[in-house]
């Protein structure tokens, strides 16, 4: 009965239909309201994304350009530096090559000099040996060696001219005395022996000359000599302890003599 009432009244049917319609209307409204919201939101997101993409792209391009410029600058700097170093290196390399060549030449010279030095040392050693052998032979013959000279004191007596001749036959000459050192040496080896020396004024009176033609500059005459007593034109070494022991005597007087020979002449 109630159902009929509702059925007759059409409330149930209308309410249902109305509710259904209302529900559908609400959904449609929500649907219609959601569309603009979604659309707006997507549009906004798209705009934001597009803006971000554009900004990122600009930053990327700017970074790329900066990096490219930096590379160009670095490459330019490296090139300039390389050119500068090359320009500085070439003269240095040339100088180095020149010094190397000079060093090699000097090394060659040094090697040659070393070889020559060794030869000279060997030669000097042989000459020293020969000299010692010769000195020994001269010593055995009565010669005395001092300061590159050999001295021989005769054991016999002859006049001045014969005495000089004997010295020449021995490859020497009468002794020449031009220094105090040599005077003292002759005095030490002669002792008290009187001997002719190579000094005479036979060519020009009172102009004393040595047998080598040189003039007398330093004399060691005994006191009062030379006095030219009785044509005394030849000098004799007296056997006195005094270092001033020369005396002029007649050249014909017999006396011992002393020869001098320069070694290796």
Residue 152 pLDDT > 60: yes
What is the predicted pLDDT for the residue at 264? 61
Q: What is the CATH number of the domain that holds 252?
A: 3.10.100.10
In a domain, 200, yes or no: yes
What is the b/e burial string over 8-39, where b = at least 16 CB atoms within 10 angstroms of the residue's CB? eeeeeeeeeeeeeeeeeeeeeeeeeeeeeeee
Mean pLDDT (whole number) for 141-159? 92
Residues 6+ apart with CB under 8 A from 139: 145
Angle at 144 between CA 142 and CA 146, to 5 degrees: 170
What pLDDT is recorded for position 163? 97
**What does the pLDDT read at residue 248?**
93
**Can you give the residue range of the structural domain that contains 50?**
2-71
> What average pLDDT does this structure show over 13-20?
43
d(CA 221, CA 235): 9
Residue 67 has pLDDT above 50, yes or no: yes
Residue 123 lies in a domain: no
Cα–Cα distance, 201 to 246 (Å, whole number): 14
Do 170 and 253 belong together in one domain? yes
> Do 250 and 158 fall within a single domain?
yes
Number of domains in the chain: 2
Highest mean pLDDT among 26-35, 49-58, 203-212: 203-212
> Smallest Cα–Cα separation from 265: which of 127, 187, 172?
172
Residue 204: inside a domain: yes
Distances (CA, A) of 244 to 23, 90, 184, 215, 220: 168, 78, 9, 19, 5
Q: CB–CB of 250/161 below 8 Å?
A: no
pLDDT in tens, 68-127: 888 888 888 888 887 777 777 778 778 888 889 989 999 999 999 999 999 998 998 998
Q: Is the CB of residue 237 less than 8 Å from the CB of residue 186?
A: yes
Specify if 134 maps to a domain. Answer: no
- In a domain, residue 214? The reply is yes
Question: Rounded to an integer, what distance in angstroms lies between the CA atom of residue 194 and that of residue 199?
Answer: 14
In tens, the pLDDT along 210-252 reads: 999 999 998 999 888 898 877 899 999 987 766 778 999 999 9
pLDDT for the residue 265: 52
- In this prediction, residue 42 carries a pLDDT of 47
Residues 67 and 148 in one domain: no
Tell me which of 24, 40, 71 is where a domain ends.
Answer: 71
Average the pLDDT over each of 23-27, 92-96, 204-208, 220-224 and give the range with the smallest value. Answer: 23-27
pLDDT of residue 81: 81
Strands (E), the chain: 143-146, 149-153, 173-174, 195-200, 209-210, 234-237, 246-249, 256-262
- The pLDDT assigned to 49 comes to 52
d(CA 154, CA 102): 62
Residue 163, in any domain of the structure = yes
């Amino acid at each position: 009965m109630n159902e009929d009432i509702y059925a007759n009244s059409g409330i149930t049917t209308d309410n249902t239909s109305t509710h259904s319609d209302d529900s559908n209307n609400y959904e449609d409204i929500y649907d219609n309201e959601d569309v603009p919201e979604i659309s707006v939101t997507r549009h906004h997101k798209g705009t934001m994304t597009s803006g971000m993409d554009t900004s990122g792209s600009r930053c990327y391009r700017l970074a790329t350009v900066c990096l490219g410029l930096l590379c160009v600058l670095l490459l330019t700097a490296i090139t300039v530096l390389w050119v500068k170093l090359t320009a500085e290196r070439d003269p240095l390399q040339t100088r180095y090559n020149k010094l190397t060549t000079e060093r090699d030449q000097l090394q060659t010279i040094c090697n040659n000099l070393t070889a020559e030095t060794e030869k000279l040392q060997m030669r000097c050693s042989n000459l020293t040996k020969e000299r010692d052998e010769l000195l020994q032979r001269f010593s055995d013959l009565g010669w005395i060696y001092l300061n590159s000279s050999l001295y021989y004191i005769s054991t016999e007596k002859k006049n001045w001219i014969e005495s000089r001749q004997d010295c020449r036959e021995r490859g020497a000459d009468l002794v020449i005395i031009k220094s105090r050192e040599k005077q003292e040496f002759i005095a030490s080896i002669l002792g008290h022996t009187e001997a002719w020396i190579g000094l005479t004024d036979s060519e020009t009176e009172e102009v004393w000359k040595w047998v080598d033609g040189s003039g007398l500059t330093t004399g060691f005459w005994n006191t009062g000599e030379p006095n030219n007593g009785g044509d005394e034109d030849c000098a004799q070494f007296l056997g006195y302890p005094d270092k001033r022991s020369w005396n002029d005597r007649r050249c014909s007087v017999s006396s011992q003599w002393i020869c001098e020979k320069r070694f290796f002449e």
